[in-house]
Amino acid sequence: MDLIRTAADLRAATEGWRTAGASVGLVPTMGALHAGHRSLIQRARGERDRVVVSIFVNPLQFGPEEDLETYPRSEAADLAASEREGVDLVWAPSVEEVYPPGVDLPAPDPGPVGKTFEGAARPGHFEGVLKVVRRLFDLTGPSVAYFGDKDVQQRFLVRRMVAAEPGLGVTIVACPTVREGSGLALSSRNARLTPEERQQASCLFLALTEAAEHARAGERDAQVLVALMAREIGATTLARLDYAAVVDEATFTVAATIDAPSRAIVAARFPHARLIDNLPLPAPIA
């Protein structure tokens, strides 16, 4: 496995592979790799000739009050995990390699969806995400990039960015959220939860499951599902509900009724971490 730190070396390596006819899969990460990341890498490994993992804690997607400085970093363990998973190349650049001073890089506009939910809670977040993902696509030239379902709004916006720029030639593959036995979605930030918070953190999954069960049983009123989710999370002593909503999968806008593919989404703040999660809402049993 190659460890590369410069943009020029990444571009040269992936260009060489593509010239030789190999397909390149990209798994973009901010490191602190867990089983969720490993599932993305395994999918890429199974589908593509060459697999690139990027490890970069992107300062542009953190607000001034957020946890950029304390975001979990574990490069040695991440490299070992990548090697075990059969990754061909890890790109672990400095900020200057990603954002060279004085160079005007493409800055895709997340549009109105970028200002809702995660974008409302974290102003500027999606501008930062799209800028770094666009840069990663430019340097790596992947035919496929792999994103986890947990960050579903991010995945929606990345797909829309790619659709607006077909020349990028990249397909976005969504991979299922990996969960602990309690239902808690794996996230690098879970490491911050105290044992008591971790125990209560499954309230997000419980709320989503309850909404999904009611949808399966025939409930079509999104407000009813939202109220159920808010009640479940609101009853959890250490959780403060940020939002609970049902969105239309095609537009990522609030759905009033469940008459098209929809997704329940939630976010809650615990004393040591803010968590997000989501589940697709099933069609009613006929």
Token reading at 161 = 């960015």
User: How is 27-66 classified by DSSP, letter by letter?
Assistant: EEE-S---HHHHHHHHHHHHH-SEEEEEE---GGGS-TTS
Nearest Cα neighbor of 66 from 128, 155, 147, 114 is 128
Q: Verify whether residue 125 is a known catalytic residue.
A: no
Residue closer to ligand PAF, measured from CB, 16 or 106 = 106
* Distance in Å, CB of 28 to ligand PAF, minimum: 4
Of 25, 28, 108, 119, the one binding ligand PAF (CB under 6 A) is 28
Residue closer to ligand PAF, measured from CB, 29 or 236 = 29
Residues 6+ apart with CB under 8 A from 74: 31, 32, 33
* Interface positions, 246-275, toward ligand PAF (CB under 6 A): none
* Interface positions, 122-161, toward ligand PAF (CB under 6 A): 129, 132-133, 151, 154
Residue closer to ligand PAF, measured from CB, 27 or 222 = 27
Each as own residue / partner, the long-range contacts of residues 160-168 (CB below 8 Å, 24 or more positions apart, any chain) are 160/111, 160/113, 161/108, 161/110, 161/130, 161/133, 161/134, 162/137, 164/108, 165/108, 168/137, 168/138
The interface region with ligand PAF, picked from 28-36, 92-100, 104-112, 244-252 by CB under 6 A, is: 28-36
Of 4, 13, 24, 30, the one binding ligand PAF (CB under 6 A) is 30
Residue closer to ligand PAF, measured from CB, 94 or 194 = 94
CA distances for 49 relative to 20, 24, 46, 88, 169, angstroms: 11, 6, 8, 9, 16
Residue closer to ligand PAF, measured from CB, 170 or 225 = 170
Q: Are strands 50-55 and 240-248 parallel, antiparallel or unpaired?
A: unpaired
* Distance in Å, CB of 164 to ligand PAF, minimum: 18
Q: What's the sign of the alpha-carbon dihedral 99, 101, 103, 107?
A: positive
Does the footprint of ligand PAF cover residue 58 (CB under 6 A)?
Answer: yes
* Interface positions, 72-101, toward ligand PAF (CB under 6 A): none
In whole angstroms, give the CA distance from residue 258 to residue 279: 14
Total residues in contact with ligand PAF, by rule CB under 6 A: 10
The interface region with ligand PAF, picked from 24-32, 45-53, 88-96, 204-212 by CB under 6 A, is: 24-32
C-beta of residue 191 within 8 angstroms of C-beta of residue 272: no
Residue closer to ligand PAF, measured from CB, 97 or 151 = 151
* Distance in Å, CB of 147 to ligand PAF, minimum: 7
Given 34, 37, 125, 214, the catalytic residue: 37
* Distance in Å, CB of 129 to ligand PAF, minimum: 5
Q: Can you give the binding site for ligand PAF, defined by CB under 6 A?
A: 28-30, 58, 61, 129, 132-133, 151, 154
User: Hey, which residues are catalytic here?
Assistant: 37
